[in-house]
Structure 1
Amino acid sequence: MGGPATRRRSSALRAYGCAAAGLFLLVGCTADGSAKGGAAATTDAAARTPAASPGASTPGAGPADSTANPLVPPLDESKQPKTVAEARALLGRIVITEAAFGPEVVRSTPFESDPRRWPVLDEDCVWQTAGLPDDVLATSTRSFHIPAGNGRGRLRLNATVTVHHDRRESAWETARAMEEVLRCPGQKLREGEELKNLWGGSFYLGEQANGWTEDAFSETGEYVSAQDGGPHRYTWSQAQFGPVTVAIAAKGAAGFTQEDMNGLAAQATSRMLLQAKQELGKEAR
């Protein structure tokens, strides 16, 4: 039995999860199957967050200092990391382990991405890796899966946390993600692994079903792999609080429904976002 603080944390997490699931249902109803996210052409643990694009359209201003929404506290800008070391320490307090998904999920090999590398979608819609751009202080992607068995294939999951200098830079990341979907509805992750028929949607806090994050981005499509077969469902869910973005990518498999994948993604995204808010939000007075 936990104390009052533990119970408050659990209640908040359930609320975030319900809101995130609502957004998935909203986006999923207009898409066929699954969504995109989290793999680069040369690494198993790739995030789907690109380097800066000079042609990207300017993102909307978004919430100036959050709102009165109890699920989105005001950002305490004094807590934003200023150095790479501070950003990596913050990232370590936000990124999740397999326990955040549930008992079926285990770690994949390799488990963590190279912290010095960053995925970039090139002009031919092929994912490559490059050094970190100037607007990224720290990023990490961890890879997990549900092993095949009981009539189901192997479901792959990636969890990504990226720390920028400020909210404007993290907003640009979401804007570029939307631009990528429009530019490349079909993408090559690596040799023998592709995403097809991608569709994405982005909602600021207060728009549609988004009552839990400053800016929500979700993507659905199909995942095809020489190893895993397909087409299978694909889902990418990304959320933002201040300078931090968190994201979950789910590559489907036989025996898993869209609801299964949405539930896993919503639960893990919610936990990372809650931890970001606890680290960077202003304390209630």
Structure 2
Amino acid sequence: MSGAAAALLLCGCSAGATEKAAESGAKASGSPTPSASASGKVSAEGAEPSATPSATPFEADPDRVPRSRKQGATLASAVVMRPQDWGSGFEAQPLARSAENTIAVLDEECRWQRRPLPKDVLASLSLYSELPGTGKRGTVKVTAAVTVHATVLGADDELSGTVEEALRCPEQQVRADERIAELNSMGTPFGLRGNNYADDSVYETGTYLTGGDKAPYRWMVTRLGQVTVAVSLKAADGYTASELEQYVTRGTTTMLDRVRYELGGGEG
């Protein structure tokens, strides 16, 4: 991905957004649907709904497209961000990775749960990393998630559902004492607002609540073909907005580049 594309990645998607973060492990989102916010309003900036996914110049090599759960798991493992990929000082969180053969699902009561993989998902993997606090800086926590669908349409459907989830659940339970609230969501299909890096993209902001503490939260999910990659970030005191955006950009662009490499895709 070019440097210009990386810069546009967050500039285009965060327009009008506040801040949000969470452990959105294997969430996926961002199909050709209108943007939406947690207030229940649909943004006029979003694209009109489409029966088929938008297409970037990326084309996967058919011989390298995963077709089994074993192949999907191998791809997810090759793409996902590990602690050392985020930068100096990052390490694995105590809970370092998601349970095997599960995916994150927002249930009817707006609680995030790990559930068995549905038949149309080949693999889903989330790795949890953190940058321990030092001095006046707190601990930044990040999640990298990769979901490999059996089909492109399956990945597109999952992406489109993410914007709807912010409307359905403006406050979401992550763990017993952790919630995300004040959610705002923006979908950006390929070709809009500087998105020249993925078939689809969704950027969310909000507030991460832990007991009585509040922290900015950001989450971005993007799709290339049948693969979605997601980065979520729980901010901490002592960091500027631009410093935090660097991590979201780094995680997203690195994983998208790895998808291109692993699937042997070319750009026209």
When normalised by structure 2's length, the TM-score is 0.86
For the pair 1:233 / 2:216, whether they are aligned, the reply is yes
CA contact (8 A) 2:13 2:188 kept: no
For the pair 1:22 / 2:13, whether they are aligned, the reply is no
Q: Can you give the 5+ residue segments of structure 1 that lack an aligned partner in the other structure?
A: 1-11, 40-45, 51-56, 68-72
CA contact (8 A) 2:9 2:195 kept: yes
Greater shift in the superposed pair: 21-30 or 77-86: 21-30
Give the secondary structure class of the aligned counterpart of 2:252: helix
Q: Corresponding residue for 1:114?
A: 99
Q: Corresponding residue for 2:247?
A: 264
Residue type of the alignment partner of 2:16: T
Residue type of the alignment partner of 2:259: A
Q: 2:27 aligns with which of 48, 52, 76?
A: 48
Residue type of the alignment partner of 1:192: D
Cα 1:284–1:255 shift into 2, 3 Å: closer
Structure with greater strand percent? 2
List per-residue Cα deviations over 1:206-247 (Å, max 9, x = no partner): 111211111111111111112xx5321101011111111111
| Equivalence map 1:35-114=2 (5 Å) | 35-39=20-24, 46-49=25-28, 60-64=51-55, 66-67=56-57, 73-114=58-99
> 2:165 & 2:234 partners in 1: Cα distance?
18
> 2:136 & 2:217 partners in 1: Cα distance?
19
Kindly, what percent of the aligned residue pairs are identical? 28
CA contact (8 A) 1:230 1:253 kept: no
| Equivalence map 1:1-285=2 (5 Å) | 12=1, 15=2, 18-32=4-18, 34-39=19-24, 46-49=25-28, 60-64=51-55, 66-67=56-57, 73-226=58-211, 230-283=213-266
Count the aligned residue pairs.
Answer: 250
RMSD after superposition: 2.2
Shift of 1:19: 2.1
List per-residue Cα deviations over 1:18-52 (Å, max 9, x = no partner): 424423223323122x224434xxxxxx43349xx
Determine which structure has greater relative contact order: mean sequence separation of CA pairs < 8 Å that are 6+ residues apart, divided by chain length. 2
Residue type of the alignment partner of 2:165: E
> 2:232 & 2:69 partners in 1: Cα distance?
25
CA contact (8 A) 1:118 1:130 kept: yes
> 1:284 & 1:158 partners in 2: Cα distance?
28
Shift of 1:79: 1.9
Q: Can you give the 5+ residue segments of structure 2 that lack an aligned partner in the other structure?
A: 30-47
> 2:100 & 2:68 partners in 1: Cα distance?
15
> 2:124 & 2:11 partners in 1: Cα distance?
28
Give the secondary structure class of the aligned counterpart of 1:162: strand
Give the secondary structure class of the aligned counterpart of 2:188: strand
> 1:105 & 1:179 partners in 2: Cα distance?
33
Which segments of structure 1 move beyond 6 Å, counting only runs of 4 or more? none
Give the secondary structure class of the aligned counterpart of 2:52: coil
